[in-house]
Amino acid sequence: MLESSYTKGFPTQHTTQTVMKSATAMVVGLVMMLGLSTLNAQNEETPLIPVGSLSAFPTIVQTGTHPTLTWDIVLPEIVDDVVDIEGPGTLVPTRDLVMDVRVVGASVKRVWLNYYGQIVDWEWVMTQLQINYNGEGYNEIFFNTQDHVNPNEIVYSRVVQEGAPVDFGGRYVNSNGSWSTWYSTTNSTNVVALQNGDTPPTTTPMYDQPTIESFILPYLDENGKIKLGARDVIVLMELTHTNPDDGGYDLQDLAVLVTFYDEVIEDDGTTTDASDSSYEHTNNGHGNNDDGVDMSNPGNSKAGEDSDPTVDDESKKRGRRKK
């Protein structure tokens, strides 16, 4: 048999205006819109529609006269308002923010072929995601296989300061135990960063690997465009091929979702905002105890058994998010 490593925003508007139309119809319509916006603001996601308040004075008018409407509306910011995307995928905050990182997919696969080139066996390959904050050096935040990916799990969270670049790097483990070529968001054509409204690359996956679309299906609209939260960025990496014309070049080996907030509330009720520059929470995919494994990942230890089975470093999850 042959072994093959084709492993795969806007400013707040305060406006007073005399309205020369039907007061009743306009007030009702705007109140309904703002009412829905208020409900949406209580959702976990950053609201995608305006939120605010509306008042009319006087509240009762005679036929032929018009009230004065006063509104205070906040239009939601988008990624471009808070983060600059430089090069293939370097993220540079334009103000202090809280950043969450999730791994959506890690689909590097190793296959075994027979003499005729037919697949006779395959396995998922250990894949590593690293982060480099503000030039401090790359650190591992995920090291696992596709079947252990939980797209809802926050693998890394911290406060990022204005102007401090955030970069990601990825690689996988070869069959002989060595590392593959390492690619990053700094200068590689093997990486792309996408935001709401972008069109993902068209790909032809090798050996029936999941396509990019399957990884980000919850984030695609009916036209195939990226449908993310207002402050989300998804970073896609190709780790096994370098030629975009190659059938195996599909930018699907690592898919990383990055979200930015001004303030977050944890499940335990504690609040973190962008002023807390010391806040950082890392999860390397195996837990954060000294032995590299905790109670939520039994059997996945990097070295030995869990030395502290009562601690689950992966249990920390994001609670209600605030814009």
For the stretch 178-192, pLDDT in tens is 999 999 999 778 999
The span from the first CA to the last CA of the chain, in angstroms, equals: 55
User: Is pLDDT above 60 for 80?
Assistant: yes
Distance between CA atoms of residues 250 and 58, nearest Å: 61
C-beta separation of 73 from 10 below 8 A: no
* pLDDT value of position 47: 52
Q: How many residues does the chain have?
A: 323
- Evaluate whether 1 touches 113 at the Cβ level (below 8 Å): yes
Region 126-141 average pLDDT:
97
- The candidate with the shortest Cα–Cα distance to 206, out of 171, 168, 250, 237, is 250
Pairwise pLDDT comparison (172 vs 73), residue with the higher score: 172
Name the pLDDT band for 22 (thresholds 50, 70, 90).
very low
Between residues 175 and 216, the one the model is more confident about: 175
CA–CA distances in Å: residue 113 to residues 4, 6, 177, 271, 294? 7, 11, 20, 53, 37
Query: pLDDT grade, residue 23 (50/70/90)?
Result: very low
Q: Which residues contact 98 (CB under 8 A, 6 or more apart)?
A: 157, 158, 159, 160, 260, 261, 262, 263, 264, 272, 273, 274, 279
Query: Residue 96 — pLDDT band, cuts 50, 70, 90?
Result: very high
Q: Two tokens at 161? A: 């300061």
The residue among 153, 126, 119, 122 whose CA lies nearest residue 239 is 126
- The rounded distance, in Å, linking the Cα atoms of 230 and 218 is 15
- 260-318 pLDDT, tens per residue? 998 877 777 778 777 777 777 666 444 444 444 444 444 444 444 545 554 444 444 44
pLDDT band at 53; cut points 50, 70, 90 = confident
Task: Return the beta strands (E) in 222-295 as ranges.
Answer: 232-237, 254-261, 263-266, 271-273, 280-282
The alpha helices in the chain, defined as continuous H runs, are: 23-41, 79-82, 212-215
Q: Which of 40-54, 74-88, 181-195, 205-219 has the highest mean pLDDT?
A: 181-195
**Pick from 62, 66, 64: nearest CA to 26:** 66
Residue 202 neighbours by CB under 8 Å, 6+ apart: none
CA proximity to 107, closest of 240, 229, 257, 275: 240
Higher pLDDT, 56 or 114: 114
Q: What SS3 class is residue 34? A: helix
CB of 54 closer than 8 Å to CB of 70: yes
291: closest CA among 312, 314, 313, 307? 307
Per-residue model confidence (pLDDT) at position 30: 43
Residue 250's closest CA among 153, 108, 142, 111?
108
- pLDDT over 80 at 321, yes or no: no
Nearest in space to 56 (alpha carbons), one of 96, 77, 79, 27: 27
Mean per-residue pLDDT for 73-91? 87
